[in-house]
Amino acid sequence: MSRPARRSFTLAVAAGKGGTGKTLLATSLALALARADHGPVQIADCDVEEPNADLLLQPEVVRQVPVHVQVPRIDQEACIACGRCAQSCEFGALALIRCKVAFFPALCIGCGTCAFICPAEAIAEEAREVGSIAVGKVGERLSFVQGRVHVGEQRVTPVLQALRRHLAPEGIRILDAPPGTACPMQETIAGSDYCLLVTEPTPFGRSDLGAAVETCRALDVPCGVVVNRAGVGDRSVYDYCEAEGLPLLMEIPWRRSIAEAYAGGSTLVDAGSGWSAALRSLCERVIQIAERR
């Protein structure tokens, strides 16, 4: 298998909705490349609200890194109740109630405007932990990173940004993106060299694939399609790919052996012979497509 000419290659694996097999493909691809000793390979579980790549890969986690954001701490004694902090907050995280400033942490993005604008210097910033990054390895050849936000926490982007800082500087980096097309998915795939979009041959799959393709195009990320559960449903996904000029890069058949392997916590690599070679060929083709841009 030819190696990418660039120092690193970032391959995002995304889907317009959950349950399409995105994590199965991402973990299988990472294992296939690592077992072939294809230089440095890393998988990053970026579905920080519901991370589950560890269930399939069983990594050895060597350290946990907390993720903090800066939030305001208000000195009510020093506060002159002018209300400028509440007026300046675009997100409604501060409110002046009966001459006291109330703070709503779930709405704060940590921009620091309130501390900057306070004429009484009654607002300081303090760190609040919102999640963590697990760093580890799977065997000797596959490095693993996974982000996780704390339960009930809405600050997803800072955890994703911290996760990106733990990406390897070299080799192939596979990003298991959050489902859907909202901000977490966009934050994950932005700047990637290529994005594999996993879908299923159903009307729902076709609809969500369209949204994911539009997102990739808006972010100028080239994309191709992998159809999971091929052999069921209808032809709408295939017709859409043909009409939009999207490369259909792989089909994963609707097969009992695959379902049993996945239910038992295994990937495609362990679901039958031939999958490792097929996955390596998939990666090679993706790199070739990306290099031609």
Report the alpha-carbon distance of residue 162 to residue 66 in Å, rounded: 9
Number of domains the chain contains: 2
Residue 15 shares a structural domain with residue 89: no
> Residue 290 — φ and ψ, nearest 5°?
-65, -35
Report the alpha-carbon distance of residue 3 to residue 246 in Å, rounded: 24
Whether 112 maps to a domain, the answer reads: yes
The domain spanning residue 196 has which CATH number?
3.40.50.300
Residue 180 shares a structural domain with residue 281: yes
Whether 101 maps to a domain, the answer reads: yes
Mean pLDDT of 281-288: 96
Provide the greatest CA pair distance for the chain. Answer: 72
Whether 162 maps to a domain, the answer reads: no
For the segment 107-142, what is each residue's pLDDT rounded down to a tens digit?
Answer: 998 999 999 999 999 999 999 999 999 999 999 999
Which domain range does residue 185 map to? 8-40+168-291
Residue 226 shares a structural domain with residue 188: yes
Residue 186 shares a structural domain with residue 284: yes
Structural contact between residues 70 and 129, judged by C-beta atoms closer than 8 angstroms: no
Q: Which of 78, 112, 129 is the last residue of a domain?
A: 129
Whether 149 maps to a domain, the answer reads: no
Residue 183 shares a structural domain with residue 223: yes
Would you tell me the crossing angle of helices 275-291 and 22-35 to the nearest 10 degrees?
Answer: 90
Residue 178 shares a structural domain with residue 260: yes
Q: In terms of DSSP H, where are the helices of 165-202?
A: 183-189
Residue 31 shares a structural domain with residue 95: no
Whether 15 maps to a domain, the answer reads: yes
Whether the per-residue pLDDT at 249 is higher than 70: the answer is yes
Report the alpha-carbon distance of residue 128 to residue 21 in Å, rounded: 34
Q: Which of 80, 114, 129 is the last residue of a domain?
A: 129
Whether 46 maps to a domain, the answer reads: no
Report the alpha-carbon distance of residue 235 to residue 11 in Å, rounded: 27
In this prediction, residue 285 carries a pLDDT of 96
Mean pLDDT of 139-165: 94
Residue 106 shares a structural domain with residue 204: no
Residue 267 shares a structural domain with residue 183: yes
Residue 173 shares a structural domain with residue 121: no
Residue 219 shares a structural domain with residue 77: no
Whether 160 maps to a domain, the answer reads: no
Whether the per-residue pLDDT at 270 is higher than 90: the answer is no
For the segment 187-227, what is each residue's pLDDT rounded down to a tens digit?
Answer: 999 999 999 999 999 999 999 999 999 999 999 999 999 99
In this prediction, residue 81 carries a pLDDT of 96
In this prediction, residue 6 carries a pLDDT of 56
Whether 63 maps to a domain, the answer reads: no
Structural contact between residues 176 and 75, judged by C-beta atoms closer than 8 angstroms: no
DSSP state of 3: P
